[in-house]
Structure 1
Amino acid sequence: MLMQAWPACVAAALAGVLLDRWLGEPRRWHPLVGFGRIASALERRINDPAHRGAPWWQRLAGVAGWCALVLVPAALAWGLVEAAARWHPLAALALHALALYAALGARSLHQHVAPIAAALTASDLPTARKLTARIVSRDTADADAEALARAACESALENGNDAIFGALFWFLVGGAPAVIAFRLANTLDAMWGYRTPRLLYFGWAAARIDDLLNLIPARLTALSYALLGATAQALRCWRTQAPAWSSPNAGPVMAAGAGAVGVQLGGPARYHGEIEQRPPLGAGTAPQAAHVMACLRLVDRALWLWLVLAGASALVVLAVSTPT
């Protein structure tokens, strides 16, 4: 956004965050649920099994599907905001705030992760396994308390970037159209970005574009985690451990977050019945319920740090631009 619109952008960001805190995810008619159904239907339609042996065709189909599902809604959002701005500036600001609210998942993250910590504290492993299975793709049927706490910590830290800071970053860059594009692209990566025979080539564009869109936000998230925890340890974990992680963005975020909290993450995890040995993340003690809540508090503090810095910069812009 232009500098003269920066204070309004920050005001809309604060409004969007407060709406998320107040309302949380819509319990019915969630827009991302509807989007996911459309994305699944489109994938089944254009990811033709007859062309599974032609990687170039699958990649082309994936790019076309991505453009249709991300760029078209973003362009529509831009047109709607422009029309609202011509009617009244407050109408446009409201649309920006609503778009950010729809893209954020701060309250949802807490609602999904905190009950896992509560179940672990109560030594209720069956409930903890059931709750953890809802937010991670790894097998939890036989997971012990340490494995469940590890999964919850990793999910809280990583989704802090995906569901909060990535959305907030792109909103501050480009308002409603940018945050909608980011959130839809992130959702497509979660749906199409798997290295399965069906999606290996079709989901290539979705995975690579999501990596690119998260390149800056993930590092700002990692830096925020480091500044708000055990800073030196977090930065050391980021520098030494993140390069070994398979994801270029999840590695820095989780390594810095785990180092900031003082917990040892990574290590073995069961996927589809097989144990996968993952590089270590963080430093300190084995994960427990208390570490899960510590990770959630770290995410919350980082969110308010971003808002305070954005608000301070908006005040500076107002002071500079106000005639004396």
Structure 2
Amino acid sequence: MFITLLQAQEGLLIFCLAVICAFSLNLSKLYHPNTIFTLITSNLAKRVVRKGNKVTQHKLSGALACILPTLTIIMLLYTLSYISFYPQWFGGLILFLCLDTHFEGRAKRIARLLSQGQKGSAKQLLASIVNRDTTKLSEVGIIKASLDSLALNTIRHFYLIIIFYLIAGPYLALTYKLLLLCDQSWRKQLCVQHPFMTAVQKIIYLLEWLPIRCFVLIMALTQNLAKTQHYLKHYAQHYVNKNSGWIMALFSASLNVQLAGPRFYHDERFDNIRIGSDRQPTVEDMQHMLKLLNSMRWFWLGLTVLIWFAINLV
């Protein structure tokens, strides 16, 4: 009876195991497939981007540089799934490799370093998870940058990956993940507004437009709905990336602190709207943020299981 039940709910079992393993099994970056792909795309940008190229050339080369490697990997893995004995478990392995949960661990270490007065070490650790310049950040700036990064990266590299997996399977989730890796690798060497990055940024924006809004609205029902709606109306719509603005509005309203604002990339200042009219965040707010993310995780896992059983019962 028990084996029959497991076989009937094999998809749910694979999903839960992939999520649990994402938190309990931290693969080293030295041999993680994401690192290899990041190196490939980074080297592509170094070879292709030239100062003398026209804007149209940058846009075309950027589109090819993100689409061709992504399609190649998707096609190879899709072909491998046909010859594998357990294609569903193969898809679960893809989900596990796509999920990234190391941001929470580094945020905890940054909060611990700041509470011990080690601002220099906190800056160095922060530089490993953000693409912005961190050398001139004050303590408040370090905290805000950590909260911003934690919110955006957790939503994109965990929750949206799960949403795409549940909606369309592992290959849509993998496609989105590879595009995120392209974007991140190129941000480390190019200006965020460089035309070479136009294609990948537009594709990511279109893919996550609806899922982010659905996610934020559902989570706002469990947090501070009225305040979140106010921030979405008055702040998020004026954010440089409106998708990111929705995420920042949710966490700013939930934590009752001000987030976002101007930042520096490659010694160049980029003005961006501050979200929220509350106080500046403190180290304690980083702990509150981690607790909030933990509550969200259990909420979404429980909701996923309930919906899964409801669909199967119907």
- Aligned equivalent of 1:95, options 64, 78, 90: 90
**Match of residue 240 from structure 2:** 246
**Match of residue 125 from structure 2:** 131
Provide TM-score, normalisation by structure 2: 0.88
Is the CA contact 1:228–1:301 (under 8 Å) kept in the aligned structure 2?
A: no
> Could you list the per-position Cα deviations for residues 256-286 of structure 1 after superposition, in whole angstroms to 9, with x for gaps in the alignment?
1111111111234344445544212134321
Of residues 300-309 and 237-246 in structure 1, the stretch that sits farther from structure 2 once superposed is: 300-309
Q: 1:193 to 1:269 in 2, by over 3 A?
A: closer
What residue identity is the alignment partner of 1:14? C
> Could you list the per-position Cα deviations for residues 143-171 of structure 1 after superposition, in whole angstroms to 9, with x for gaps in the alignment?
22211111111111111222111211111
> Could you list the per-position Cα deviations for residues 209-266 of structure 1 after superposition, in whole angstroms to 9, with x for gaps in the alignment?
1111221232233234423433321222122210110012111001111111111112
Is the CA contact 1:132–1:152 (under 8 Å) kept in the aligned structure 2?
A: yes
Give the superposition deviation at 1:20.
0.5
**Match of residue 17 from structure 1:** 19
Give the superposition deviation at 1:6.
10
**Match of residue 34 from structure 1:** 36
Is the CA contact 2:131–2:187 (under 8 Å) kept in the aligned structure 1?
A: no
> Could you list the per-position Cα deviations for residues 280-321 of structure 1 after superposition, in whole angstroms to 9, with x for gaps in the alignment?
21343211111112222222222222221211111112222x
What residue identity is the alignment partner of 1:319? L
What residue identity is the alignment partner of 1:75? M
Is the CA contact 1:265–1:282 (under 8 Å) kept in the aligned structure 2?
A: yes
User: Which whole-Å CA distance do the structure 1 matches of 2:196 and 2:287 have between them?
Assistant: 38
Provide TM-score, normalisation by structure 1: 0.86
Is the CA contact 2:263–2:270 (under 8 Å) kept in the aligned structure 1?
A: yes
Aligned counterparts, 1:134-213, within 5 A: 134-192=128-186, 196=190, 200-213=194-207
User: Which whole-Å CA distance do the structure 2 matches of 1:266 and 1:6 have between them?
Assistant: 46
**Match of residue 4 from structure 2:** none
Of residues 128-137 and 207-216 in structure 1, the stretch that sits farther from structure 2 once superposed is: 128-137
Indicate yes or no: 2:216 matched with 1:216.
Answer: no
**Between Structure 1 and Structure 2, how many residues are aligned?**
308
What residue identity is the alignment partner of 1:68? L
User: Which whole-Å CA distance do the structure 1 matches of 2:64 and 2:73 have between them?
Assistant: 14
**Match of residue 313 from structure 1:** 307
User: Which whole-Å CA distance do the structure 1 matches of 2:13 and 2:181 have between them?
Assistant: 26
SS at 2:195's partner residue? coil
User: Which whole-Å CA distance do the structure 1 matches of 2:189 and 2:133 have between them?
Assistant: 18
> Could you list the per-position Cα deviations for residues 39-75 of structure 1 after superposition, in whole angstroms to 9, with x for gaps in the alignment?
122233444666x02x333322222222211112112
User: Which whole-Å CA distance do the structure 1 matches of 2:46 and 2:301 have between them?
Assistant: 41
What residue identity is the alignment partner of 2:212? A
Percent identical pairs in the alignment equals 22
User: Which whole-Å CA distance do the structure 2 matches of 1:16 and 1:79 have between them?
Assistant: 21
Indicate yes or no: 2:106 matched with 1:104.
Answer: no
Give the superposition deviation at 1:124.
2.0
What residue identity is the alignment partner of 2:99? L
What residue identity is the alignment partner of 1:59? K
What residue identity is the alignment partner of 1:315? F
Give the aligned CA root-mean-square deviation in angstroms.
2.6
User: Which whole-Å CA distance do the structure 2 matches of 1:74 and 1:203 have between them?
Assistant: 21
- Say which structure, 1 or 2, has more relative contact order (CA 8 Å, 6+ apart): 1
SS at 2:81's partner residue? helix
Structure 2: runs of 5 or more not aligned: 1-6
SS at 2:196's partner residue? coil
